[in-house]
Amino acid sequence: NYSVQLGNYRIAEKFTAPPKRYTQATLIMDMTQVAKYVTDPQAKAALQAKDKDKKGENGSIGTPATRDSIIETLIKRGYIQDDGKHLVSTQYGRQFYDLLPDDIKKPDLTALWWTIQEDIKSGNAQISDMTNSVLASIRKHLQDDYSAVHVDHAADREEIGKCPLCGKPVYETKLSFACSGYKNGCKFAIWKENGFFKHFGKKVTKAAAKTLL
């Protein structure tokens, strides 16, 4: 028989911390080692194999020349935004992500297509094999039901004020500050090139529109 003497102990309540938000630099860094997020062993091995002997690359997506432009495109299309310190997903971006099938979201598919491209280069596959793989991934989801999905394109837009005619939010567009109720027939808008202001060489600014509303 053995006897064990316990020392001092206490119960501590702690909280897990969420992952830190991406900056452009840390997102690019993660793009160089995306294989760590791949669940399929063969796909993971394929991504890592393509970066063998490449300094600073370990199962990456994109190239040093394209990663900046990939992020810029995500910002331009409204999927993420730069708040000055971090890259933050928009509500529109999160809705779009939730809409995508799991196999499209995962980098595993990138690994598969890279493998096919390498086989084409070595003469072990045809260009049609790549085309067929892409089409197959699309056809697989053609019958998916998205009828219940609502993507709010205005979710992250700044509200300038309330429409004085119907009470719906007014948003800035390229040429005006217009009511979001236009689909319901509301035609309220404050034009940036307003004739009165233009006479004095002025445009209606966002600040002015907010004051008017």
Q: Are 177 and 164 in contact (CB under 8 A)?
A: no
Which tokens hold the place of 199? 């006479």
Beta strands (DSSP E) in the chain are: 80-82, 87-89, 159-162, 169-172, 176-179, 189-191
Q: Are 130 and 112 in contact (CB under 8 A)?
A: no
User: How high does pLDDT run on average in the chain?
Assistant: 84
Classify each residue of 131-156 as buried b or exposed e, where b means 16 or more C-beta atoms within 10 Å of its C-beta.
Answer: eeeeeeeeeeeeeeeeeeeeeeeeeb
Report the distance separating Cα 69 and Cα 65, nearest Å.
8
pTM metric for this prediction: 0.60
Residue 145 has pLDDT above 90, yes or no: no
What is the pLDDT at residue 130? 94
**Does 91 or 125 have the greater pLDDT score?**
125
Report the distance separating Cα 156 and Cα 71, nearest Å.
18
- Domain architecture of the chain: domains with CATH: 24-137 (1.10.460.10), 159-212 (no CATH)
What is the pLDDT at residue 2? 64
Q: Report helix, strand or coil for 64.
A: coil
pLDDT, tens digit (0-9, with 9 covering 90-100), for 2-29: 666 666 767 777 778 888 899 999 999 9
Report residue 128's pLDDT band, with 50, 70 and 90 as the boundaries: very high
Question: In one letter, which amino acid is 131?
Answer: T
First to last CA, the chain: 83
Report the distance separating Cα 85 and Cα 51, nearest Å.
30
- Beta-bridged to residue 191, according to DSSP, are 176
- Beta-bridged to residue 21, according to DSSP, are none
Residue 156 has pLDDT above 70, yes or no: no
What is the pLDDT at residue 13? 78
Residue 167 has pLDDT above 80, yes or no: yes
- DSSP 8-state symbol, 144: -
Q: Report helix, strand or coil for 160.
A: strand
Residue 183 has pLDDT above 80, yes or no: no
Cα radius of gyration (the chain): 26
Q: Are 160 and 213 in contact (CB under 8 A)?
A: yes
- Angle of CA points 43, 44, 46, to nearest 5°: 65
Which tokens hold the place of 196? 């009165």
